[in-house]
Structure 1
Amino acid sequence: MPSRRAVLAGISTGALTSLTGCVSTKRTGATPGTDSNTDWPMFGADRMRSGYAPSAAAPRSSPTERFTASLEGTPIGQPIIADGTVLQSTWYGIEAFDAVSGELLWRFRDEEPGDTAVQYQPPAVHDGVAYVGTESGLVALDVESGDEQWRIETASRVSAPPVAGYDWHHLYIGTIEGELLEVSLEDRASSSPGTVRWKRSVYGEIVRLVAPNIAGVTAGTTGGEVYMVYDGRGLWRTKVPGGVTAMTAEQGNSLYVATFGGGVLKLRTAAHAGRVSWHTEVGPVAQGLLVRAAGAVYGADGGGLTKLGTDGGRERWTFAEAASTIPAAAGDTLYIGGTDSILAYKLSGGTGVAGARIDPQRWQYTHDGGYASGVSIADGAVFAAVGDEPRLLAVE
């Protein structure tokens, strides 16, 4: 059977014309973003981990470099952009740069320089404060100076990027030993910033958190379980067929879960208590993030970038050129790392039938820096941290 690449190469203009009437031209409903003053304040952009900023302006044609800046450590996850500052998690610590010039502002490392390398999860940023998960707990840093504001200690390493609760009243963190915590971010009669409001133990390392509801948080673990916890009490628990690698939620009580070796599932939440709506066994492993946009979820693994419909989980297309890195979407475009490049795809995947697609790409920017750990969209630019000779790159 010919490969997808061979099929695409063999489609001529005449053949394309002959497909009229059977070629899918369904619109995504997405339009180009126009706001050049947006932030990407936490992993996945928001508390639902959508990975999508629908109003954000971002390059839709061949971009130019805004800046490139050296990193002290190998990057982890997506850049976080807020208050005109880019915060990049690395194996060294948290490294902060000016979002326009790329000037180094400060670096934060919670351990001594001689200590072994550790993982710092991408922080969550709000109102001038960055909340950073470390080997020993949660640290609140002033975004402008990098100075510590307060900290809380945990029994083990913070293993999931922190997620904000409704209206940033509180923050949720999860640890490698399965401890889930809610931390107050506001002065209230019952608590002050940095107060742990409750703790809950679950089975397995917590790797992903989403907080789509007014109260409560949903946690995914390497043990292949998804938990919904409210005020420290477990509301429901669902076993999935593999360790959780990514989760994204949407309004209407739907949760999409990517697993290691077990495909992708849609769970019904709230009163449905985690019931499985559909399960696509061949869905992407989705290393880190499932982007949810325009009636679909997008994930990348060793097989490339894949689009699944949210209605039934059917695969719409896969592009092998994209690497197993963390993508991001803005307006009508999805951005992801490739081999020594950043790729921009139409959310629709272009025109075509199933895997045979015409004109799916908007642009490809070559940077000769290896794979990007992840990309983010903010301030009218695409930000990416690349691993070879580690550096932070911004194109616009």
Structure 2
Amino acid sequence: MDDFGRRDWLRGVGLGLGVGITGTAAGKTLPGRKLPKPWTPDHGTWATPRFDPKNTAYSVNATPPTDSPTVAWTADVGTEVRSIAVTDGILFVGGEKAVVALDAESGTERWRHRGTAGTVAVRDGTVFAGGHDDEYSARALAAADGSVEWANERQYERCYHLLPAEDWLFVGAHSEVRALERDSGEVRWRFPTGLGDRGVALADGRAYVGQPGPAVALESRPLLGELTRDRPRVAWESPGPAFGLAPVRVGGHVVVADGEDGPYNGGHAGYLYAYDADSGAEQWRQKVEMNALAPAVHGDTLFAPGLTYDDVARPGVVRALDARTGAVLWSTRLPRWPSGAFGAGDLLLVGGGNRGTPGVTALDAETGGERWTVETDDDTDALAPVGDTVFAGSRAGTVYAIR
């Protein structure tokens, strides 16, 4: 046994002798070892950028307008909008300069917290914000007034993805996935990865990591392992993709989009890869476009946005795929690059704007036919459909309530 293993063993034995097998002296479970269970979103919420712990990006209970929508209100938040989370009638807007809380009915500002927030999530009265400035990379704010509960500092470490679950907070950072204590920000463990975008999905006792390089499944260790190791073990590692984005759990598969820029990836970019959730074996792959984005999922259907760098009139696309086989069910071209696809009831909502007029387009989820489009003042990267409203945020700093 090497020195590291011996130290962990002695520490584990000490924990076991001092506090018993099931907890600490305070009655808590052993920190950082056993992965949390996923949660089911409450009605009328959009708590994370991709809706839920499986990253489905689809709210079946939302009822956005199916035709002739109107803009109920707009709000200028004074910062480029990157992410929106919604709960209890409040929008939490993450931007390049601030986190801003807005009343969902009127757009009235409730509070503002200055600091970079490229991604936000909300759970149990706390707003979690991840940024990439030189002060902090993750922090917790009270949803009621924006006061700081804690800040996890890591200079110049960009944060891409946040997922709260039980008393955990998973942070997809530029060089690693970090598991934090949700109440304090204390680091439970780190899982180092390649440099770049990454995300985490939770399902069936595992955490699935999409990252630059292979997708990875992490699982809780047996009891002895929980006592003697700092982080979950690797259950499997996939052979690809080259630049995996946020993983999506659907049926018995884990689906990952390869988001590497097409011209620089030897012709392998722009695919969706489906892996067996138990073993990591590749089940199928399907080309979306020159570049692929993370898909939304409802039932056995994946909705995969993509884009081309070619000079064409309709450079964006959404393809509906059978999640079991990867077969294409329908395909719709768009007059702009999409920024993502988000499901709501019977609609698929696609934001975007680069290489075309910026806006939000609603597609029929069954057929791919266009239902409506609302133009915006700049590229629209953040969408959150809640109830009968689609909330959208633009890079110009405008938040739209579309009903």
Q: In the alignment, which of 253, 258, 273 is matched to residue 265 of structure 1?
A: 273
Residue 123 of structure 1 aligns with which residue? Answer: 120
Range 276-285 or range 306-315, more displaced: 276-285
Aligned to 1:162: 162
CA distance in 2, matches of 1:46, 1:237: 23
Distance 1:157 1:294, change over 3 A: same
CA distance in 2, matches of 1:159, 1:227: 19
Q: Secondary structure at the match of 2:297?
A: strand
Q: Which amino acid aligns with 1:107?
A: R
Match of 2:185 in 1: 194
The more displaced of 330-339 and 148-157 is 148-157
Q: Distance in 1 between matches of 2:167 and 2:42?
A: 27
Residue 230 (str. 1) matches residue 228 (str. 2): no
State the Cα distance separating 1:57 from its structure 2 match: 2.0
Q: Is the 8 A contact 1:44 1:50 kept in 2?
A: yes
Structure 2: 5+ residue runs without aligned partners? 1-40, 221-230, 263-268, 308-315
| Match in the other structure for 1:355 | none
| Kept in 1: contact 2:54–2:201 (CA 8 A) | yes
Question: For residues 283 and 310 of structure 1, do their structure 2 counterparts lie closer, same or farther at Cα, with a shift above 3 Å needed?
Answer: farther
1:221 aligns with 2:211: yes
CA displacement at 1:212 relative to structure 2? 2.0
Query: Is 373-382 or 203-212 further displaced after alignment?
Result: 203-212
Residue from 48, 55, 65 that aligns with 2:54 = 48
Instruction: Provide Cα deviations, 1:335-384, integer angstroms capped at 9, x if missing partner.
Output: 1125333211111125xxxxxxxxx12222234x1331132111320011
Aligned match of 1:311 in 310, 324, 345? 324
- Deviating more after overlay: 205-214 vs 78-87: 205-214
Matched, 1:185 2:191: no
The one of 342, 364, 367 aligned to 1:349: 367
Q: What TM-score results when the alignment is normalised by the length of structure 2? A: 0.75
1:7 maps to: none
Which whole-Å CA distance do the structure 2 matches of 1:280 and 1:385 have between them?
A: 30
Q: Which of 172, 175, 195 is the equivalent residue of 1:174?
A: 172
What's the TM-score once normalised by structure 1's chain length? 0.76
Tell whether 2:144 aligns with 1:139.
Answer: no
Q: Supply the distance in 2 between the matched residues of 1:265 and 1:258 (Cα, whole angstroms).
A: 6
Q: Deviations over 1:292-315 (max 9, x none)?
A: 114211122223222222122122
TM superposition shift of 1:158: 4.2
1:248 and 1:37, CA in 2 relative to 1: closer, same or farther beyond 3 A?
closer
SS in 2 for 1:245: coil
Residue 373, structure 1, aligned to residue 381, structure 2: yes
> How far does residue 37 in structure 1 lie from its aligned partner after superposition?
5.3
The alpha-carbon deviation at position 283 of structure 1 amounts to: 5.2
2:92 aligned residue: 87
Q: How does 1:288-303 map to 2 (within 5 A)?
A: 289-302=294-307, 303=316
The corresponding residue for 1:71 is 77
CA contact (8 A) 1:57 1:330 kept: yes
Counterpart AA for 2:63: A
Map of 1:256 onto structure 2 = 255
Alpha-carbon separation, structure 2, partners of 1:349 and 1:240: 31
Percent identical: 21
1:212 to 188, 199, 203: 203
AA aligned opposite 1:373: D
Counterpart code for 2:54:
M
**Is the aligned partner of 1:394 residue 2:386?**
no
| 1:187-206 Cα deviation digits (max 9, x unpaired) | xxxxxx43322222223334
Give the Cα separation in 1 of the matches to 2:169 and 2:235: 19
Matched, 1:103 2:108: yes
Query: 1:48-89 CA deviation, whole Å, 9 max, x = no partner?
Result: 11010112222122112221001222222x421112211222
Residue identity matched to 1:238: S
What is residue 31 of structure 2 aligned with on the other side? none
Aligned residues, how many?
327
Give distance in 2, aligned partners of 1:211 and 1:36. 17
CA-atom RMSD, angstroms?
A: 2.3
Query: In structure 2, what is the Cα distance between the partners aligned to 1:87 and 1:67?
Result: 16
Which residue in the other structure is 1:285 paired with?
Answer: 291
The residue type paired with residue 203 of structure 1 is G
* Paired residues of 1:47 and 1:212 also in contact (CA < 8 A): yes
Deviation sequence 1:168-221 (CA, Å, 0-9, x none): 3312112212x22212236xxxxxx4332222222333422211233x422211
State the match for 2:37 in structure 1: none
- Distance in 1 (CA, whole Å) between partners of 2:142 and 2:235 is 35
Aligned CA distance change for structure 1 residues 36 and 64 (closer, same or farther; 3 Å): farther
Q: What is the aligned partner in structure 1 of residue 21 from structure 2?
A: none
Structure 1 residues 184 and 213 mapped into 2: Cα distance closer, same or farther (>3 Å)?
A: farther
Q: Is the 8 A contact 2:161 2:173 kept in 1?
A: no
Change (3 A) 1:213 1:151: farther
Task: Kindly indicate whether the alpha-carbon contact (under 8 Å) linking 1:264 and 1:284 is maintained by their aligned counterparts in 2.
Answer: no
Gaps of 5+ in 1: 1-34, 111-117, 187-192, 351-359
